[in-house]
Amino acid sequence: MAIRVLGLMPNDAKALGIGEKALADDRPEVRTAAATALGDMKSRSSIPKLKLALDDNDPAVALAAAHALDEMHDEAAYEVYYEVLTGQRKAGRGLIASQTAVLRDPKKMALLGFEQGIGFVPFADIGWVAFRTITKDDTSPVRAAAAKVLAKDPDPTVTKALADAADDKSWLVRAAALEALAKRGDPSVLDTVAQHMSDKREAVRYTAAAAVLRLSAIKEARIKEASAVVKKKTPAKKNNK
């Protein structure tokens, strides 16, 4: 707890030094607190150390480091969130390589992501819903949180991962994936998103409908822009009369 609250002192050099030192502590709960505190401090000088923490042997530490990096808009964070959502990293060793059993155990996965996951899942009433699902050993709140973060990942492969997640058995993950697809602004997934307007869960149907409206508007705007460019480049015909 003492390490965790260091995040309340963003401009304190001593607090920063203690936080970075704690990233190498023997206890994973201390390393997790340290990564979270450094993220709260927005300590960009700590980014190299946080990137190393992405491959920590304890998944909770890796997730906390990813959250900290995301807070500072560093794209390295997306590797962990992609893995949480899909079950595999895009490249290199990571949680799957060292802790496969943890990621396949719903109870352990839910517990390791509770604080980081619940904090930014994209639904107004998610706190209570997520608490109830986590007590049933359900990892969906954590995976939904990962989907939301991936909305900002520019990697094209993420679009397919989110489209696949829109068919997830958990409505939380489906709705989060659809919201992420809408925010990415790629009209190529319009047909995929539209299919979910008949989902059995209201939250998913409404999210899909809003996503279709948003993506349709983006598609229409791009068509108009392209048309305007073509007209500008096409020379006007001369009047021979």
25-42: pLDDT as tens digits: 999 889 988 998 999 999
pLDDT of residue 226 exceeding 60: yes
Closest CA to 38 of 11, 60, 7, 59: 7
**What is the pLDDT, as a whole number, of residue 46?**
95
Q: Rounded to two decimals, what is the model's pTM? A: 0.73
pLDDT digits (tens, 9 = 90+) for 74-132: 998 898 888 888 877 776 554 544 444 445 555 555 555 444 443 433 333 444 444 45
Is 240 inside a domain boundary?
no
Residue 7, domain member (yes or no): no
Averaged pLDDT, 1-24: 91
Say how far apart CA 182 and CA 179 lie, in whole Å: 5
Q: How far apart are the first and last CA of the chain?
A: 86
Domain membership of residue 62 (yes or no) is yes
How far is CA 121 from its chain centroid? Answer: 9
Q: CA 134 to CA 240: how far, in whole Å?
A: 77
Number of domains the chain contains:
1
CATH of the domain at 70: 1.25.10
| Calpha distance 237→241 (Å, rounded) | 12
Is 128 in contact with 180 (CB distance < 8 Å)? no
Whether residue 19 lies inside any domain: the answer is: no
Question: Cβ neighbours of residue 102 under 8 Å, at least 6 residues apart?
Answer: 59, 95, 108, 109, 112
Whether residue 55 has pLDDT greater than 80: yes
177's CB contacts (< 8 A; 6+ apart) are 147, 162, 163, 165, 166, 168
Domain-located, residue 208: yes
Distance CA 73, CA 102 (A): 27
User: For residue 104, what pLDDT is reported?
Assistant: 53
Predicted confidence at residue 87, as pLDDT, reads: 78
pLDDT tens sequence across 125-155: 444 444 455 545 567 777 888 898 899 999 9
pLDDT of residue 209: 94
Residue 45 included in any domain: no
**Does 119 fall in a domain?**
yes
| Residue at 49 is within a domain | no
Enclosing domain of residue 140: 54-232
